[in-house]
Amino acid sequence: MIRGRRLALVALGAIACGGCSAPDEIVVAVSTDLALPKDFDVLQVQVFEDGTRKFEQAYERLGEADAAARLPATIGFYSSRDGGEAIRIKVSARVEDALGPVRILREAVTRIPKDRIVRLTLPLDFLCDGSARAEGSGDVVSTLCGEGQTCVAGACVSSTVDSSALPDYSPGDVYGGGVGDGSGACFDVTACFEDGTPADVDPETCTIAAERGAALNVALQTAGGDGICDEGEGDDKRCLVALDAGSDAGFRVEEDGRIALPPAVCGRMADRIAAVVTAPATAACAQKTAGLPTCGPWSASGSKEP
């Protein structure tokens, strides 16, 4: 743990706080539905307090054997003043290095909680690709959303987060039941969608049909090669982005049994998304959720050698 005067960074990985006193901490959990280093290879984290940059770090070589971090990653910021500090957090996916092109930006404006350790999840997901650019100073600015907003599932929503409403931090909720050391489970996208079939998408409601009561996994087949790809060649090669079940940023089952997708999915069917693919959830392929990260060389879950 690296202590600072006001905010502190806890090393990327799971946070152990046994015996800690006066926990006033917000744990930022960063995940992605893309493949590393193919889609991006740098995670940049910036934290501001009262407009002053208090922390900035770029974690490079993501997906490589000597990566500076594995995803999901957790970074804890604690208070030295009994909590309550207002902070602005920016996490971004960059390419090449800390000053390279930006693909995705996610922001949150919140406060360090009082007498709690809470989890704030900030995914870097495909539907927000192209949401930001880098300035000459190295700062990252949104190209999609206005002031006070951030991109979630391709849409602009408020970036303000009430930390009192956030859940308590538990490593298992981030690392597939593990603690960030390669333990826990992960979701094998290519295996779980090996026999997946394209679904008919209703463009008016951006929903797909589903058998009532049947648990499904849902993925976006990308048109440009983003996401986790199988070993096929040419037209047989599929690259997929798995969506989280029970999530506004993924998919939800509506009262009539249909599956609701983020509206941005239908907006990108003409160019970035080739198809929506479904596959049954099974004992070997549990339903994908935010707490079950994808498998890959970048993953902090599902490998004994993270």
Domain's final residue, options 140, 173, 206: 173
* 157 plus 203 within the same structural domain: no
Q: What pLDDT is stored for residue 205 in this prediction?
A: 95
* 149 plus 244 within the same structural domain: no
* 33 plus 162 within the same structural domain: yes
- Residue ranges of E strands in 38-85: 42-49, 52-59, 73-78
Our CA angle for 89, 90, 92, nearest 5°, is 155
Amino acid at 193: F
Q: Is residue 145 assigned to a domain?
A: yes
Q: How many CB atoms lie within 10 A of CB 252?
A: 15
Q: What pLDDT is stored for residue 84 in this prediction?
A: 83
- Residue ranges of E strands in 122-260: 132-134, 140-142, 149-152, 155-158, 197-198, 201-202, 207-208, 216-222, 228-229, 239-242, 252-253, 259-260
Contacts of 236 by beta carbon, 8 Å cutoff, 6+ apart: none
* 41 plus 166 within the same structural domain: yes
Q: Is residue 182 assigned to a domain?
A: no
Select from 189, 239, 238, 191 the least CA-distant residue to 218. 189
Q: How many CB atoms lie within 10 A of CB 207?
A: 22
Q: Is residue 155 assigned to a domain?
A: yes
Domain's final residue, options 108, 140, 173: 173
Q: What pLDDT is stored for residue 235 in this prediction?
A: 66
Q: What pLDDT is stored for residue 220 in this prediction?
A: 97
- What CATH number should be reported for the domain holding residue 158? 2.60.40.10
* 167 plus 199 within the same structural domain: no
Q: What pLDDT is stored for residue 126 in this prediction?
A: 97
- Give the rounded distance of the alpha carbon of 47 from its chain centre: 18
Q: How many CB atoms lie within 10 A of CB 163?
A: 19
Our CA angle for 95, 100, 105, nearest 5°, is 70
d(CA 82, CA 6): 11
* 167 plus 39 within the same structural domain: yes
* 78 plus 167 within the same structural domain: yes
Q: How many CB atoms lie within 10 A of CB 4?
A: 12
Q: Is residue 142 assigned to a domain?
A: yes
CB 218 within 8 A of CB 276: yes
Q: What pLDDT is stored for residue 21 in this prediction?
A: 47
Burial classification of residue 89, based on how many CB atoms lie within 10 Å of its CB (0-12 exposed, 13-18 middle, 19 or more buried): buried
Q: Is residue 136 assigned to a domain?
A: yes
Q: Is residue 91 assigned to a domain?
A: yes
* 74 plus 121 within the same structural domain: yes
Q: What pLDDT is stored for residue 303 in this prediction?
A: 66
Q: Which helix (H) or strand (E) holds 192?
A: helix 189-192
* 50 plus 122 within the same structural domain: yes
d(CA 222, CA 236): 13
* 136 plus 247 within the same structural domain: no
Q: Is residue 289 assigned to a domain?
A: no
Per-residue pLDDT of the chain (306 residues; tens, 9 = 90+): 222 223 443 333 333 343 444 578 999 999 999 999 999 999 999 999 988 888 999 999 999 999 999 999 999 998 777 778 899 999 999 998 888 899 999 999 999 998 899 999 999 999 999 999 888 766 788 999 999 999 999 999 999 999 999 999 999 999 999 998 889 999 999 999 999 999 999 999 999 998 777 899 999 999 989 999 988 766 678 999 999 999 989 999 998 889 999 999 999 998 899 999 999 999 999 999 999 999 999 999 986 443
d(CA 46, CA 220): 30
φ/ψ bin of 102: left (φ > 0), alpha (ψ from -120 to 50), beta (otherwise): beta
Count of domains forming the chain: 2
* 153 plus 243 within the same structural domain: no
* 131 plus 39 within the same structural domain: yes
d(CA 148, CA 125): 19
Q: Is residue 38 assigned to a domain?
A: yes
Domain's final residue, options 173, 205, 224: 173
Determine the structural domain holding residue 57 and report its residue range: 24-173
